[in-house]
Structure 1
């Protein structure tokens, strides 16, 4: 679970997840282009690839190969594990 919190601690990684939730199954090129055009983020492809690696290590992104192309997909199960650990229905007493 620590990997998930570490992955979510970076704004660029959160933007990558937002973009994959909006439209799943994107290439590195598509994600880089979207980050530049929608968010004004001008990181190198290498930097974005490293961010995707952190998200993949945390289980938030999975990839598939289609020929020479790597497609990235959002995976929400690690986030669900967090909400199961600390359910919102618990009442905190002051």
Structure 2
């Protein structure tokens, strides 16, 4: 999904500053883009009022870095295994945490 399409999709969850209606269907024009932010012009589809918005594109890295003991991100297979284990579990939470994974 391109940046403008993403902004339009997310805009529907926000209200116009002038008419307070949802910004669904608003017009978005990219004015400038940097590595960390972009500036866009947004025009409300309901009342036609335009305003400028600055949108942050990245989160700052965690100040302490990755937690100790984390070698890599969770794999898709690990996520599926976890989902199946949680789906199939019947019992107390402490049992789930103490039991080794069933294979």
Same fold (TM over 0.5): no
Normalising by structure 1, we get a TM-score of 0.25
Normalising by structure 2, we get a TM-score of 0.23
> Larger % of strand: which?
2
> Larger % of helix: which?
1
Decide which structure has the larger Cα Rg and report it. Answer: 2
